[in-house]
């Protein structure tokens, strides 16, 4: 005898999944406002404002959210271009991160050959115009989905300036702005697509200013005490230090003040260092060794010095449950799909890379989703997202928005971010973030699993900082 089971008791259909209707509504809404999001990206891309100076970019992203019912707080943590946008109330609190700072000297037109828009000007060589736009678009889409499914909770967007110098999220975290979040989601433009189940490098940003005595460099050099000599001795010793650090550590520096002109012994000089390591504990040791080098340089030159830590960022603490939620929704949405004109554009941007590397690059653009690794990958870059991840469960993804194989912080990234290649990736990111957030709002077990994973990884690891307790965000990068 056959037993007939009514269809309403069958499981496995998309409609039976928690939040399915809300996800569909959120994704459909992003398609409806596609032109608005593209225009917003172009505005931020053209403004190309460096860290802590993102006045136009921050205002545009905040307006987008305010017009859609979010409550805005501006100028938080002492940073005029930082904001928090909030919709709803109660728990869970699901937050998205938005970045929007550009990099100096990397101005570029949306063209496949090197051509600055403004000679010597900034450009979005890390894709943050796309990042900020997708995040605010996703947040508004989440609200649309919550309305459809009558979901409760709080959606929050953190407008975080100066990511490139590790300042924005670091000082927001230092002042406790993430402490009541249940989950934080983020994304980043990339040359490939997949959930970011990975850790990064910790980094500290340090400025060292030496002070000496000015003198005529020819008439009375014996009366001078050169601050620039102290800077150069510091740099020489730091370069010798590289040999005695663990593999894959990083030391970078630029001289930000080398004196006025050659015939004056420089009474002041400054050098700016980034120290990176696979763990914050390693960075702390590197910092101590650099401090001793600075002391030695000052002794040798009879100068004085001041060390200022501008930012201090931990490595990202990965979260497996959040990576799985993001990967699942990325597979629902699908990777960016590019047309032949976009592939041809990307191939042209690859030409100087192929020449420099002496080997072909396999594809012009990535159009597949990478599998989720069994264990966390290790990315050799750093981000102030790390400071968030040590305080609250944090998950991220990357989406193909630029030429495959393009190096980070390159003109190729700027070019793609100002046209359809970057914007197709941006829309995939917005849809994925929105869908993942709705899953977390609709199914409390997901956030609980993320919290358990977070607590396990944090166990026995103190949260330390090289920032003095009284430090505040600087007014300017330089």
Question: What's the pLDDT tens digit per position in 12-44?
Answer: 444 457 789 999 999 999 999 999 999 999 999
According to DSSP H, which parts of 82-241 are helical? Answer: 128-149, 168-174, 227-241
Sign of CA dihedral 464, 466, 471, 476: negative
Nearest one of 428, 352, 436, 23 to 190, comparing CA atoms: 428
pTM: 0.94
Whether residue 263 is found in the same domain as residue 190: no
Which residue segment(s) compose the domain that 196 sits in? 12-200+315-458
Note whether 414 and 272 are same-domain residues.
no
Nearest to 142 by CA among 68, 91, 35: 68
Residues 157 and 207 occupy one common structural domain: no
Q: The CATH number of the domain where 381 resides is what?
A: 3.40.630.10
User: Measuring CA to CA, which residue among 465, 316, 327, 330 is closest to residue 394?
Assistant: 316
Neighbouring-strand partners of residue 88: 154
Separation CA 166–CA 201 (nearest Å): 12
Residues 160 and 29 in one domain: yes
Q: How many CA atoms lie within 13 A of 72 on its CB side?
A: 19
For residue 475, is it within any domain? no
Number of residues in the chain: 478
The pair phi, psi for residue 148, each rounded to 5°, is -65, -45
Q: Verify that 33 and 169 share a domain, yes or no.
A: yes
Note whether residue 464 is domain-resident: no
Are both 236 and 222 inside the same structural domain?
yes
Q: Which of 286, 312, 338 is the last residue of a domain?
A: 312
**Residue-by-residue DSSP string for 397-412:** EEEE-S-TTPPTT-HH
Q: Do 382 and 427 fall into the same domain?
A: yes
322 and 334 housed in the same domain:
yes
- Omega within 30 of 0 (cis) for the link into 92: yes
Does the residue 433 lie in any domain? Answer: yes
d(CA 194, CA 400): 9
- Verify that 351 and 392 share a domain, yes or no: yes
On the CB side of 370, CA atoms within 13 Å amount to 18
The count of domains in the chain is: 2
Asked whether residue 3 is assigned to any structural domain, the reply reads no
Do the domain assignments include residue 470?
no
Question: What pLDDT sits at residue 277?
Answer: 97
5 located within any domain: no
Strands (E), 214-313: 250-257, 268-277, 304-313
**Nearest-CA neighbor of 122 among 63, 68, 184, 51?**
51
**Tokens 């990576």 belong to which residue?**
323
Q: How far is CA 403 from the centre of its chain?
A: 19
Burial of 327 (0-12, 13-18, 19+ CB in 10 A): buried
The β-bridge relationship of strands 198-199 and 202-211 is unpaired
Distance CA 272, CA 209 (A): 9
> What pLDDT does 15 receive?
45
Residues 162, 143 contacting (CB under 8 angstroms): no
Helix axes 128-149, 34-47, angle to 10 degrees: 150
Domain membership flag for residue 55: yes
Grouping H, G, I as helix, E, B as strand and the rest as coil, residue 109 is coil
DSSP code, position 51: T
Query: Residue 284 belongs to a domain with what CATH number?
Result: 3.30.70.360
**Domain assignment of residue 463, yes or no:** no
Considering the domain architecture, whether residues 340 and 370 belong to the same structural domain is answered as yes
In a shared domain, residues 180 and 194: yes
Cα separation of 315 and 397, whole Å? 16
Backbone angles phi, psi at 33, to 5 degrees: -100, 20
CA distances (Å), origin 263, targets 162, 284, 297, 397: 37, 39, 22, 53
d(C-alpha 64, C-alpha 75), whole Å: 17
Identify the three-state secondary structure at position 318: coil
Which residue, 312, 340, 359, sits at the end of a domain?
312
Q: What is the mean pLDDT of each run of 10 residues along the chain (478 residues)?
A: 35 59 97 98 98 98 98 97 98 98 98 98 98 98 97 98 97 97 98 98 98 98 98 98 95 97 98 98 98 98 97 98 98 98 98 97 98 96 97 98 98 98 98 98 97 97 95 88
Long-range CB pairs of 294-298, under 8 A, 24+ apart, other chains included: 294/208, 294/234, 296/233, 296/237, 297/210, 297/230, 297/231, 297/233, 297/234, 297/237, 298/210, 298/230
Same domain, 326 and 182: yes
Give me the pLDDT at residue 16, please.
Answer: 57
């Amino acid at each position: 005898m056959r037993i007939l089971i009514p269809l309403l008791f069958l499981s496995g259909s998309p409609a039976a999944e928690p939040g399915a209707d809300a996800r569909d509504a959120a994704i459909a809404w992003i398609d409806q406002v596609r032109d608005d999001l593209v225009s917003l990206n172009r505005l931020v891309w053209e403004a190309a404002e460096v860290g802590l100076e993102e006045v136009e970019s921050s205002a545009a992203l905040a307006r987008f959210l305010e017009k859609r019912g979010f409550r805005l707080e501006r100028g938080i943590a002492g940073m005029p271009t930082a904001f928090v946008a909030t919709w709803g109330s109660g728990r869970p609190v699901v937050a998205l991160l938005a970045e929007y700072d550009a990099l100096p000297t990397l101005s570029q037109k949306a063209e496949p050959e090197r051509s600055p828009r403004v000679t010597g000007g900034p450009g979005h060589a890390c894709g943050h115009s796309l990042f900020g736009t997708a995040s605010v678009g996703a947040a508004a889409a989440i609200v649309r989905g919550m309305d459809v499914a009558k979901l409760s909770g709080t959606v929050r967007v953190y407008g975080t300036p100066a990511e490139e110098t590790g300042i924005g999220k670091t000082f927001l975290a230092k002042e406790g702005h993430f402490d009541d979040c249940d989950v934080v989601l983020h994304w980043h433009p990339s040359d490939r697509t997949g959930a970011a189940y990975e850790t990064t490098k910790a980094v500290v940003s340090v400025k060292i200013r030496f002070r000496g005595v000015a003198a005529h460099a020819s008439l009375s050099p014996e009366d001078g005490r050169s601050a620039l000599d102290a800077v150069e001795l510091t740099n020489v010793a730091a370069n010798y230090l590289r040999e005695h650090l663990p593999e894959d550590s990083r030391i970078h520096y630029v001289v930000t003040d080398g004196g006025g002109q050659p015939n004056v012994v420089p009474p002041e000089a400054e050098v700016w260092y980034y120290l990176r390591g696979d763990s914050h504990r390693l960075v702390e040791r590197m910092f101590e060794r650099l401090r001793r080098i600075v002391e030695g340089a000052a002794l040798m030159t009879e100068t004085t010095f001041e060390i200022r830590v501008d930012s201090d960022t931990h490595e990202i603490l990965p979260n497996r449950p959040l990576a799985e939620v993001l990967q699942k929704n990325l597979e629902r949405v699908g990777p960016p799909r590019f047309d032949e004109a976009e592939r041809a554009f990307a191939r042209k941007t690859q030409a100087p890379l192929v020449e420099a590397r002496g080997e072909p690059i396999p594809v012009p653009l990535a159009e597949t989703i990478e599998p989720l690794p069994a264990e966390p990958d290790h990315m050799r870059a750093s981000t102030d997202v790390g400071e968030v991840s040590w305080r609250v469960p944090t998950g991220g993804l990357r989406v193909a928005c630029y030429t495959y194989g393009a190096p980070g912080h390159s003109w190729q990234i700027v070019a793609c971010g100002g046209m359809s290649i970057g914007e197709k990736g941006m829309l995939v990111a917005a849809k994925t973030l929105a869908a993942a957030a709705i899953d977390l709002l609709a199914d409390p077990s997901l956030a609980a699993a993320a919290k358990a994973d977070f607590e396990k990884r944090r166990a026995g690891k103190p949260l330390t900082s090289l920032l003095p307790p009284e430090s505040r965000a600087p007014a300017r990068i330089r």
